[in-house]
Structure 1
C-alpha cells in the first residue's frame, strides 16, 4: 500500500508542473512566513546596495512550506541564474566540484535536502562557501597533488527538513538561516485565493476555509486539495465552489475535516481497537495497518503527534484522548496517562521496549 498522494510529501510530474505555475515569483507575492520574508528581504536588499552576491542562505522546515519557492525568489530578486541540485545526487566530492566549477559569477546554487550530502562533498563545500575555491586532488597516495581551483562568487541556498543532521561547520557558514513554520488557516486561505485566481476558479470564503482547514498547515497540500476540488466540481458541472461542495469532494478523497487521510485514520483505529490505545511498538503498529515502518513514521506520525492525537513514549506509541473522540470511540476508563507513559515527543527511544 502507498500513502494518499493528496497529503504525501512528493508530487507526480504533472502535479509538479502545475505547482511551479502557482509558485510566487517574488517576496511580495509570497504568503506567510512574515518574519523569514522580512529578514530575507533585508539580506537581499543589502546585497543589491553593495553590488555583491548575497550571503549563503539556509532554509529549514517540514516539506511543502516553500523552501524551493524561496530559493527561486532569491535568484529572481538578485536577477541571477539558478542552478538546482540535491544532496542525494552529490555522493562524491567530484560531483560537487563539477557543479561548482561550472557556476557563473553571481549564480544561485540551490541544494535541496542538503543534509543528505556525502561527507567528502560537505568538506569540499566548506572551502567553496568561505573562500570561493576548491582543491582538486589528482592521483592517489604519496603522489597525490592538490590543484587549487578558484570559483566565481556565488550564493548557496540550502534546504533541509532535518536541520539537526547538518554538521556544525557547514551550518555556521550560512550567513542567513530561516526556519519555516506551519501555516495558519487564515494564511492558507490567502494562498488558496491566489491559486484560485490563477486557475480562474470561483470559490467563496466558506469554500476556502473548508479546504484550508484540511490542509495540514501546508501550502503544497492546500493547492493539491484545491485542484482535486476543482476536478470534482468540473465533473459534477458545478461552477461555484462552496463549503458543502468542497467537503463532499474531499470526503470522496478520504481527507476528513481535520486533515487526516486513510493512513492516518488506519493508524489511529488500529492503535485504539487492536491495542487498546497502546503503548505499542512502531513496527508492530505498521504491520497492523499493512504499511512499511518508515511510511508510518515519516508520513503519518508527525502530523498525528502535532495534532495531539498520538503520543510517543519510552514504551511505544499511545492514542491520546482526542484520537478516541475523533474516531467516535469510547476511551477506556483508565485513559489518564500514568507516570510511565507521559508523551515525550522530543526524546529518542527503543521502538519495541
Structure 2
C-alpha cells in the first residue's frame, strides 16, 4: 500500500529509528516484559561467563516490534562482548558472510535479523560455522581452484525472525536456545510508555499511559510510536502535558481504536464480512480485495487479530469471529460450523 500505517511495526524513517535506539534498554534488568525468556537467558549468560565460553546460539522468533533486536543487544551487553548486526537480505553471497565472520572476536555476537531470508547457499555455509566454528571456501577457478579451511573464533549467532516455520530444519536444529517472543500485556506496555515519556522528558498522566498501552496491539514499538504522536498533540494543545483526554483525542484522530485496530485492520475484517459473509475465505482473495500481499497479511495483520480472537483460521479459510462482528458493530447472520 502507498500510505504508511501508524501502527506499522516495521517501517519507520531514519529519524524515528535513531529515536528508537535511544529508547533501548541495555541490560536484562532494564528490559520490560518477556519475563520467562529473561529468566532463562540470565542463567545461560551467567553460565557462559563462568566458563569463559561463547554462549550457545539463540533464535528469537515472534511478531515484529516485540523487541528481538533490543534483546540481542542486551545479551551482548550482559556477556560484555561486541556485537555485529546485519539482516538476511543483506548477506547476498558467501563472501559477505565470511567478511562478517572474519570481523568477530572470540565470544562476540553476530545478530542476523530476518534470518529466514538468508540465501540457501549462505545458510548452508553457516552450518559448519555455527557447529564447529569453521568454513570451507573454494579459492580460484578452474584447474587452480582449491579448498581452504577457514577457522573461526567461537561466537554466538543470534537470529531473529517473524516466520520461524520458514526456517529449514537443519538451521533450526543448530540453535541451542529458542525463545518465542509473545505480545505484551497492558501492564507491561503502560510501564514502557511511562519509561519512554521520561526519556522524552514528557509529563504523562497514568491514565494517558494506559490509553496508549491499550491501543498498542501488545507491541512496544507501536506503543512508542503512538506516544510520539500523542506527545505532538500535547505540545500543541496542553503545553506538553499528556493527559488522558489529549491521548484519546490524538489516538482517535489517528483512527486507532481501543483494541489497537486501525483503518486497515477494520477494512480487512469489514471486507470479509461484506463480500464473503464473514468467511471462510482464502488468503489470496483477502489480499486482492484490500490491496495487500499475502505475506504482509500473514506477518503483520493476522497474528494480532488471531491473538485477540477477532479472526479464526480454519481448514476452509479465514473467518471473522463473533468478537470481530461485535467490535465492528455488525450482526453475524451467517453462523455455521467452523
| Both structures adopt the same fold (TM-score exceeding 0.5) | yes
Q: Which residue of 1 aligns with 2:80?
A: 79
Q: Which residue of 2 aligns with 1:256?
A: 257
Over the aligned positions, Cα root-mean-square deviation in angstroms equals 1.9
1:279-316 per-position Cα deviation (integer Å, ceiling 9, x unaligned) = 33333333333444444443323222222222233433
1:259-282 per-position Cα deviation (integer Å, ceiling 9, x unaligned) = 000101111222222333233333
Q: Given the alignment of the two structures, is residue 167 of structure 1 paired with residue 168 of structure 2, yes or no? A: yes
Q: Which residue of 1 aligns with 2:196?
A: 195
- 2-structure distance, mates of 1:97, 1:68: 22
Gaps of 5+ in 1: 343-353
Contact 1:324-1:330 at 8 Å conserved across structures: yes
- 2-structure distance, mates of 1:169, 1:279: 35
> Aligned pair in 2 of structure 1 residues 290, 192: CA closer, same or farther (>3 Å)?
same
Q: Given the alignment of the two structures, is residue 16 of structure 1 paired with residue 17 of structure 2, yes or no? A: yes
Q: Which residue of 1 aligns with 2:119?
A: 118
Contact 1:3-1:263 at 8 Å conserved across structures: no
Contact 1:7-1:261 at 8 Å conserved across structures: no
Map 1:296-315 to 2 at 5 A. 296-315=297-316
> Aligned pair in 2 of structure 1 residues 203, 301: CA closer, same or farther (>3 Å)?
same
Q: Which residue of 1 aligns with 2:67?
A: 66
Paired residue secondary structure (1:134):
strand
> Aligned pair in 2 of structure 1 residues 33, 124: CA closer, same or farther (>3 Å)?
same
Map 1:34-45 to 2 at 5 A. 34-45=35-46
1:83-117 per-position Cα deviation (integer Å, ceiling 9, x unaligned) = 11111112322221121122223321111111211
Contact 1:53-1:153 at 8 Å conserved across structures: yes
- 2-structure distance, mates of 1:297, 1:165: 13
Gaps of 5+ in 2: none
> Aligned pair in 2 of structure 1 residues 120, 24: CA closer, same or farther (>3 Å)?
same
Paired residue secondary structure (1:156):
strand
- 2-structure distance, mates of 1:282, 1:170: 28
Q: Which residue of 2 aligns with 1:349?
A: none
Contact 1:60-1:159 at 8 Å conserved across structures: yes
Map 1:1-353 to 2 at 5 A. 1=1, 2-140=3-141, 144-332=145-333, 334-335=334-335, 337-338=336-337, 342=338
Shift of 1:172: 2.3
Paired residue secondary structure (1:318):
strand
Contact 2:63-2:300 at 8 Å conserved across structures: no
Contact 2:45-2:78 at 8 Å conserved across structures: yes
- 1-structure distance, mates of 2:114, 2:274: 37
1:198-253 per-position Cα deviation (integer Å, ceiling 9, x unaligned) = 11111122111111111111111111111111011112134322322211110101
- 2-structure distance, mates of 1:34, 1:299: 24
Shift of 1:147: 0.5
- 2-structure distance, mates of 1:321, 1:4: 26
Shift of 1:57: 1.7
Paired residue secondary structure (2:198):
helix
Contact 1:5-1:11 at 8 Å conserved across structures: no
Shift of 1:158: 1.2
Shift of 1:169: 2.4
Contact 2:6-2:226 at 8 Å conserved across structures: no
